[in-house]
Amino acid sequence: MVDSGAGLGRASDANSFVGEESAQELANVSDAQHLMLSSQMIEAKQARAKAEAERQMRLNRIARLQAEEMKLMKRIEETHRRTKDILDQKAAKEQAAIERQNLELARHDELNDQRLRLVESKMQQRASIRSSQEACWIHRHHTVQSVKERRESVATEAEARRRHELRQKVALRDDVRRQDEARRERRRLAQEMMEQQLKEEQEARLSNEETKIREQEAKLAALERREMQLVQSLKSYQGEQREVLEELEAFLPGGPNSARKSLVRAAHEGPRPPALLGPAPPDGAVGL
């Protein structure tokens, strides 16, 4: 009876020891699963926070780009306004210069007319003096023949002088006309050169403004392409992280003891860094 009681006691002790080991193993496994789930939740929260930070960063970048675009539009409007003011001022100055030139030409024409009238009056005075002298000389001679001859000679001389003076007047008038035409031609050429210079300056300024606008548009396009690359890399990184989480969940529910031991060891070691879960994002993705 004593031996049988001792045997029963030893059997009960062995059964209790086996039960304690099983309970301990189950507790270790449940703790490992709990730690793994906690690490997955932490990683998921970190991923959501990172995605939210990147979304906010993109929103801020878009807002900065919009602000830069508004500044650029304001600068373009200001440049157009300044260009119009400069062109108006130059046009006013040119108009004033043309009016001054017209006044000078009119004054010069008036002086020429006065000179012509003065020459004509002097010629008339000389002609009257000469005619009076000729009359006195004819009055001295009493013979009809001498008077006739003198009159003929005087008439011939007067006709010659008249023709000579007429030729001089015609030559002077032609010279004045040629000078006027030369002045008008010079004024026309000067005006054309000024208009051509103004046109070239305006085209150069417009070309410079268009070059600046194209450069700004190229910068905006590069920023948009960079933003699209960042979005694609973020989506790729999130997809890879999701696949890794799905693989881990597929391995957790059942499997050999080696898999459980590896999970327990991973739970004790802590969560793996993001570099082990998938390929790293492209350079500069997070910084931007």
Specify the higher pLDDT residue, 211 or 8.
211
Residue 218 in this model has a pLDDT that exceeds 60: yes
Domain count, the chain: 1
pLDDT score of 130: 82
Share the mean pLDDT of the chain.
77
Does 35 map to a domain? Answer: no
Please report whether residue 40 resides in a domain. Answer: no
Q: Give the range of the structural domain holding residue 161, as residue numbers without chain letter.
A: 48-277
Say if 286 falls within a structural domain.
no
Residue 281 has pLDDT above 50, yes or no: no
Determine, yes or no, domain membership for 173: yes
Question: Is 99 a member of any domain?
Answer: yes
Per the model's pLDDT, the better-predicted residue between 184 and 31 turns out to be: 184
Q: 59 lies in a domain?
A: yes
Q: What is the mean pLDDT of residues 79-103?
A: 89
pLDDT of 97 over the 50 cut: yes
In a domain, 87, yes or no: yes
SS (H, E, C) the chain: CHHHHHHHHHHHHHHHHHHHHHHHHHHHHHHHHHHHHHHHHHHHHHHHHHHHHHHHHHHHHHHHHHHHHHHHHHHHHHHHHHHHHHHHHHHHHHHHHHHHHHHHHHHHHHHHHHHHHHHHHHHHHHHHHHHHHHHHHHHHCCCHHHHHHHHHHHHHHHHHHHHHHHHHHHHHHHHHHHHHHHHHHHHHHHHHHHHHHHHHHHHHHHHHHHHHHHHHHHHHHHHHHHHHHHHHHHHHHHHHHHHHHHHHHHHCCCCCHHHHHHHHHHHHHCCCCHHHHCCCCCCCCCCC
